[in-house]
Amino acid sequence: MTSMTPYCGPAPERADWFGAWNFDPYLLTVLLVLGLWGALTLRHQQRDRKGAATLAMGAALLAFVSPLCAMTVALFSARTLHHLVVFGLLAPALALAFPIRKVPVVASFAALSAALWLWHIPQVYSAAWDSALVYWAMQAALILPAWAFWSVILGRSKLGHVVWLVPLVGQMGLLGALLTFAQRPFYLEHLAHAERFGLSVLQDQQLAGLIMWVPGMIPVAILAGIMAQRVLRRDMHI
């Protein structure tokens, strides 16, 4: 088990976790610059794209500035929730505001899948815990392909693209099951912190699996159904 302090800082105490905001000046500067750039770029665009850009900024603040960032140090279940915010909220919002063009859905799906599994390899997780550089490299490895993937899914009304949500949901379900039914903890970095919140490290991991399995899968599955229905209704002129 590593003794290094991860990027989001020391794990907060149960009584004051809501005050554990991340005011990293470099991060705040980057977010400010990107926010201003986005506002200028979209100043003459439709309201929907401006709203998506605002949602993306809110998701970034939630993931990397709010106490959720510090909670990812205390609980692996919070880390799972963080990942859902990143690729299930931040990335789709970016795709609607600033769609990435000409990236094949196969390539973006493969890269997104690789990032999801890499984050759950204990040795890779430890490396991201020990190094801010690795941490941000892993975040980029998750955000960029998710951004490209959602750009395809949300930007093109084709049933062939919508069905790519099915294997995404399947992977999330498999990851969730592996975490939920594991007989031992995989991420010992949380061993000294989970107990502050009334959980053993194994219970924390099981909770993470349930978050991935249920709250993570259901919205994507519902979205897939809605989009497929719309495509079929359009193609059949219903």
**What is the reported pLDDT for 119?**
95
**What is the reported pLDDT for 1?**
45
Weakly modelled stretches of the chain, pLDDT under 70: 1-4, 156-160, 223, 225-226, 228-238
**What is the reported pLDDT for 231?**
66
**What is the reported pLDDT for 234?**
62
Please tell me the distance from the alpha carbon of residue 144 to that of residue 61, in angstroms, as a whole number: 17
**What is the reported pLDDT for 154?**
84
**What is the reported pLDDT for 64?**
98
Q: Please state whether the predicted TM-score (pTM) of the whole model is above 0.95.
A: no
**What is the reported pLDDT for 73?**
96
**What is the reported pLDDT for 218?**
75
**What is the reported pLDDT for 24?**
96
Q: At what angle do helices 132-155 and 122-130 cross, to 10 degrees?
A: 120
Q: What are the contacts of 83-86 at 24+ separation with CB within 8 A? A: 83/116, 83/119, 83/142, 84/211, 84/212, 84/215, 84/216, 85/59, 86/59, 86/139, 86/142, 86/143, 86/146
